[in-house]
Structure 1
Amino acid sequence: MPPPKKTASPSQVHAILGTDDARVKEMAMKTVQRLSPPGADEFANEIVEGNADNAEHAGQICSNVIMALQTMPFFGGAKIVWLKGANFLGDNQTGKSQAAVQGFENILDVIESGLGPDVSFVLSANSIDKRRTAYKRLGKLAGIEVFDKPDTSKAGWEGAVMAHASQKARELGLTFESGALDLLVQMAGDDTRQLENEIVKIDLYLGERRRCGINTVRGLVSLSRSGVIWEIGNAIGARDLQRALELLGVLLYQGQNAIGILLGAIVPRVRSLLIVKELATKYKVNKSNYSGFTSSLDALPSSATSHLPRKKDGSGFNAYPLFLALNEAGRFTLEELHAALVACLDANVKLVTTQLDNKVVLERLLVGLLTPRVKR
């Protein structure tokens, strides 16, 4: 009877996947460094660039990986093969090609047949088609880590980004005054690389000072695409129609999805304005500072706060967007904000069910929201 086939150990195969390119690259690099033995020279690791230009190139990359896995290092010892930044594993034209599909299957065949005891394989990729059998096979062979960008069109996306920003700040010994870190996350958005760069910029600017305020964030941090989306919300709060239309044009020119703009920028700000307008009408809330505002929210009866947005971990209210809208709500009447929310719903239906031009739909919405009502 032939000996049973010995597959590679999960400790030998590592897959780091996700749409957050910066974190995927960072974690893949850390994985390679952790697996590398102390004092290992440059010949111990073999990096195969996975950025394929076409189907034929993807097939060649896979062949190079197989050759690397089956070739022992020149001077013995441990060896790490890193397929870096593979772009042919997802649901795209190159990824659907026979050369790419079969090529990756061949890599898995080699791994399943058993790697050398001192050989490790690391895969980093921005996307992978989870419907294919290759993904299921990979899951049985590797420890998979996923780092996806948060969906900024959904409430609570700030939670994961906030945690990452807090960790980076702690590493640099930085602290933020109340509301400053929230503002930084809103301006930098879901771009992890820009977020880290902005925190480093703040660190250099502060020098020996270790506490960052809101004005410092506003003065130093550059707006990402998500930040521009957030800035549209500011223009709505300021009832600045011209600014809102300019930002809308920028986002649509950049290829931003119209539904994403509506659900990620316009609806959240209208909802926040409506919530704080109703709260300020019915209850006494502290408008002087962020800490006082959050304290006044905590003091309200549960019947008044059950519908307020909460942080992803459930630890409290997601109060900063509401605080930003607090003074802005004075520019609108309660009736205007109720009508604005209905208009957002109507715009959503038009974007989904009609052939109307997306730009026209959103421009009409903004004009209706921000043009002052004429008193009869």
Structure 2
Amino acid sequence: MPELKELKPTYLIYGTERVLLDDAVARLKAQVAEQGDLDFNYDVFHADNSEAEAIVAASQTLPFMSERRLVVVRDVHLLPADAQRVIARYVADPSPLTCLVLVADKMTKGNVLYKAVQAGGGQIHEYEAPRKSRYPAWIRERLAERGKKVTSAAAMRIFEVIGDDVGRLRNEIDKICLYYDDRIELDTDEVDEVLSATTQATIFELTDSIGNRDRQKALRTLQKLLDRSEPLPAIYHTVLRHVRMVLAAKVLTERGIGQPSAIARELKLIEFVARKYRDQSRNFTIEQLRDLHRQLVQIDFDVKSGRGELLTALERFLLRMA
């Protein structure tokens, strides 16, 4: 994630991850607040109900008893082309006393605002979600920014439980930092205590129970998920995918491709996840895994053809699993 250090008169920040955009705006706001009183020098515009002339007028207004003004324009990519040209003309010669922040979900290098900010000496930052393989490192970096030192295993646990939803990950990081306010070093035991309060039963507990052939835990976890109103079709498809991946790891291992790194390359997975699939595949013969997969495919067929009910079929699958 790029850092916004030296304060510039104009910024263009864009990307599909709203959470990261909001974080960038918050950091800029904190920087400007160090140089000015934002109680009377802070304006926020939304492109869907704002005029370009009003945005420019606010940007040209002198700060009131302050060194700086902050003007934020949300969803600037939604502005009509003529309105964007009006703002681009201001960006070419901006007020040195105002920090104008243009926020967009999407932006091209050929856009008039992009060119204007670039030519006028402003800063442009694109914010995207990390690649799948980068999430654990990203989690560690975000926690390090908050003064927390977490192990790789702890970061992977957070990713495994919460998934790749950046907003949920940020919320979980906030909770961990609040829970361990006076503690710096954290391992899996510490994050598990916070995660368990967030999600008492996760789909990952269910799939791991299946992979470990723990029928009783699988049934208990399924019931907990249903008690939390988790969608049954989503549970089914996650279980199907998990069994399919364990089977794929088994097939690769029997072909002599048994190293987690090699399995990860073949299946396009994070190595930690590939290792888990490989380890769980050792609990089954290849025939057993193929049979489990056939059973799950048959459940889908029966439900769609009206010959079965998904919850009953899934419970029977778990009962027969061991």
TM-score by length of 1: 0.59
- Residue number in structure 2 paired with 1:251: 230
Q: Judging changes above 3 Å, is the alpha-carbon distance between structure 1 residues 346 and 109 closer, same or farther for their aligned structure 2 residues? A: farther
Q: What is the SS of the residue equivalent to 1:216?
A: helix
Distance 1:247 1:185 in 2: 19
Does the aligned pair in 1 maintain the 2:52–2:87 contact within 8 Å?
Answer: no
Q: What is the SS of the residue equivalent to 1:42?
A: coil
Distance 1:219 1:337 in 2: 33
- Residue number in structure 1 paired with 2:88: 111
CA offsets 1:245-298 (integer angstroms, 9 cap, x no match): 663683338xxxx6x7677x3355224433565688x69xxxxxxxxxxxxxxx
Residues 15-164 of structure 1 mapped to structure 2, 5 A cutoff: 15-34=12-31, 36=32, 39-42=35-38, 45-50=41-46, 58-60=48-50, 64-74=54-64, 78-83=68-73, 86=74, 101-102=79-80, 105-113=82-90, 114-118=92-96, 119-125=98-104, 127-128=105-106, 136-142=111-117, 143-149=123-129, 157=132, 159-164=133-138
Shift of 1:182: 1.0
Shift of 1:72: 3.5
Shift of 1:368: 7.1
Residues 1-376 of structure 1 mapped to structure 2, 5 A cutoff: 12-34=9-31, 36=32, 39-42=35-38, 45-50=41-46, 58-60=48-50, 64-74=54-64, 78-83=68-73, 86=74, 101-102=79-80, 105-113=82-90, 114-118=92-96, 119-125=98-104, 127-128=105-106, 136-142=111-117, 143-149=123-129, 157=132, 159-172=133-146, 174-177=148-151, 179-189=153-163, 190=165, 191-201=168-178, 203-204=180-181, 207=182, 210-222=184-196, 228-237=202-211, 238-239=214-215, 240-241=218-219, 243-244=221-222, 247=225, 250-252=229-231, 265-274=238-247, 277=250, 303-305=257-259, 307-309=262-264, 318-320=271-273, 322-323=275-276, 326=279, 330=283, 332-341=284-293, 356=304, 366=314, 369-372=317-320
Shift of 1:60: 3.5
Does the aligned pair in 2 maintain the 1:13–1:122 contact within 8 Å?
Answer: yes
Q: Which runs of 5+ in 1 are unaligned?
A: 1-10, 53-57, 90-99, 151-155, 284-300
Distance 1:21 1:310 in 2: 31
Q: What is the SS of the residue equivalent to 1:120?
A: strand
Q: What is the SS of the residue equivalent to 1:15?
A: strand
CA offsets 1:101-153 (integer angstroms, 9 cap, x no match): 43x7514423235443414320235x34x5xx898233323444333446xxx
Q: Judging changes above 3 Å, is the alpha-carbon distance between structure 1 residues 277 and 324 closer, same or farther for their aligned structure 2 residues? A: closer
Q: Judging changes above 3 Å, is the alpha-carbon distance between structure 1 residues 242 and 40 closer, same or farther for their aligned structure 2 residues? A: closer
TM-score by length of 2: 0.66
1:338 partner letter? R
Distance 1:43 1:180 in 2: 40
1:110 partner letter? I
1:334 partner letter? I
Q: What is the SS of the residue equivalent to 1:244?
A: helix
Q: What is the SS of the residue equivalent to 1:80?
A: strand
Shift of 1:68: 0.9
Does the aligned pair in 2 maintain the 1:44–1:78 contact within 8 Å?
Answer: no
- RMSD after superposition: 4.7
Q: Judging changes above 3 Å, is the alpha-carbon distance between structure 1 residues 266 and 66 closer, same or farther for their aligned structure 2 residues? A: farther
2:94 partner letter? G
1:41 partner letter? D
Give the aligned length: 295
Distance 1:338 1:279 in 2: 14
Q: Which runs of 5+ in 2 are unaligned?
A: 1-7, 118-122
Percentage identity across paired residues of the two chains: 19
Distance 1:163 1:213 in 2: 14
Q: What is the SS of the residue equivalent to 2:275?
A: helix
